[in-house]
Structure 1
Amino acid sequence: MQVTFLGHAGMYIETNHGSVLCDPVFNSSYFGAWWVFPANDQLDVTPYLKPDYLFLSHTHLDHFDEKFLSERIDKRTRVLLPDHPLGLVEKWLRKLGFTTFIHTENATPFDVDGLKVMITSLVAPADGPLGDSGLCLDDGEVRLFNQNDSRPVHFEAIDAFGPYDVHFLQYSGAIWYPMVYRF
């Protein structure tokens, strides 16, 4: 397994059983208030445009780059969907032209073309209506947990899928405070 960091929460994961593009963001969002750090505007994205799978943890615009997804990513890519009750990831991606979706059951491992996958979905009121999710992968050699913004609430399932060789998680809250308030 090889993981290439693409900036912010974006990564391209190459496994023995296919590639997974996670949360690719290359454009600023929220009227320019949020931008990718470290800057990735000079990165050659050509190797990442035709992944076997696409995983979008949620629809916050620092994880869901509509412009990049609509203009650059192959629409035949199979999308690994988190088990969110509103289904916004699927709805938004269908509007962009994506047609192949793999629906998952929360915190339940499954196999796709030899790649063991588990998506943990967060749907509590604290997670808001957009939800959030984490991705666990096992290609037979390496186990990875891409936690990104999600909280690890499904401890038993996460532990049972491991132990992990690689764990990606945020190191600060992606929040608006204090940039949008006047004191």
Structure 2
Amino acid sequence: MEIQKLNWAGIKLTSQGKTILIDAVEDFSYYKPVLGDAVEDLIQFSDWVEADYMLFTHLHLDHFDKSVIKKCLKKDGKLIVYSELEAFVRKYVEDVEMVVLNLDEAFIENGIIFKPVFAMDGVGEIQSSWIVEDQDTKIFHGGDTIWHNQFWKLGKENENIDYAFLPVNGVVVNFEVIGLEYSPVPASLNLKEAFAAAHLLHAKKLVPIHYGLFAHEKFYIPREFDEKDLERVSEEVGQEYVILKDGEVLV
């Protein structure tokens, strides 16, 4: 399996001659009032990527991009959807073949296994994590999950995870503009929680996602960290990690 980091939480997987996109987003403009401007250039990939399968963890527009689905999904491609999100997705996407799965239900095609598993969204909306596996590599994608009590269970039931893609920015959000009262509690995993979650998942490597690209001094306040923090927490928790920059490929 070849793995490429895309913008923010997005990744592109290539396996068995098939291309898989997870949380692939190119247009963040709708959330600009609360996320602010991207601090780095965004990767424009929709003109050249043709996906056989597309997955997303939830419907926040920094993880779910309708335009990417329209431009990148092949005519015979499949949108793989967690069942609790099916009704909502069908309102946004038409004329696309969907594979609808319940939590822990696997779909196998072309030697690739897809499975949604438990996750918990920071503002109470529906979310799943995804496990994707081929004969060589098994990855876990956690969207922007918060800390929850199922990481132990997920680690026991899903052995041999090679890479756990987990959010690390521990962001505090102030979304009163859309009707949510302010909370000082982070709405995604912070750095230490992500390392601990990867450790409980028994992942060989944590791959941090969902950090660095956006911040807003009033509405979207991430917890900052540097390379020394990564090294320190990795040693404290006993969990290895690898940093992938946007656009970088891990084989």
TM-based fold match above 0.5: yes
Task: Kindly indicate whether residue 80 of structure 2 is the aligned counterpart of residue 64 of structure 1.
Answer: no
Q: Which has the higher helix share?
A: 2
Task: Kindly indicate whether residue 135 of structure 2 is the aligned counterpart of residue 140 of structure 1.
Answer: yes
CA displacement 1:87-106 (0-9 Å, x = unmatched): 32343222xxx420001121
Alpha carbons of structure 1 residues 140 and 46: separation in structure 2 relative to 1, 3 Å: same
Alpha carbons of structure 1 residues 116 and 86: separation in structure 2 relative to 1, 3 Å: closer
Alignment of 1:23-172 (within 5 A): 23-28=23-28, 29-34=30-35, 35-36=37-38, 38-41=40-43, 43-48=44-49, 50-70=50-70, 72-74=71-73, 76=75, 77-84=77-84, 87-94=87-94, 98-122=95-119, 128=124, 130-151=125-146, 153=150, 155-172=152-169
Which of these two proteins has the greater Rg computed from alpha carbons?
2
- Whether the 8 Å CA contact 2:86–2:100 is kept in 1: the answer is no
Query: What secondary structure is seen at the aligned counterpart in 1 of 2:67?
Result: helix
User: Cα RMSD between the aligned structures?
Assistant: 2.8
The AA in structure 1 aligned to 2:157 is A
1:59 deviates by 0.7
Which has the larger displacement, 22-31 or 1-10? 22-31
1:169 deviates by 0.4
Normalized against structure 1, the TM-score is what?
A: 0.78
Query: What secondary structure is seen at the aligned counterpart in 2 of 1:53?
Result: strand
Return the structure number with greater relative CO, CA threshold 8 A, min gap 6. Answer: 2
Query: What secondary structure is seen at the aligned counterpart in 2 of 1:7?
Result: coil
Q: In structure 1, list runs of 5 or more residues that go unmatched.
A: none
1:10 deviates by 0.9
1:164 deviates by 0.9
1:134 deviates by 1.0
Q: In structure 2, list runs of 5 or more residues that go unmatched.
A: 175-216, 221-251
Alpha carbons of structure 1 residues 133 and 6: separation in structure 2 relative to 1, 3 Å: same
Q: 2 CA distance for matches of 1:91 and 1:123? A: 23
The AA in structure 2 aligned to 1:51 is A
- Whether the 8 Å CA contact 1:23–1:56 is kept in 2: the answer is yes
Q: 2 CA distance for matches of 1:66 and 1:158? A: 32
- Whether the 8 Å CA contact 1:24–1:65 is kept in 2: the answer is yes
Normalized against structure 2, the TM-score is what?
A: 0.59
Query: What secondary structure is seen at the aligned counterpart in 1 of 2:68?
Result: helix
Alpha carbons of structure 1 residues 122 and 170: separation in structure 2 relative to 1, 3 Å: closer
Identity %: 18
1:107 deviates by 1.7
CA displacement 1:139-177 (0-9 Å, x = unmatched): 011111111212463643453222211110000145533
Alpha carbons of structure 1 residues 10 and 59: separation in structure 2 relative to 1, 3 Å: same
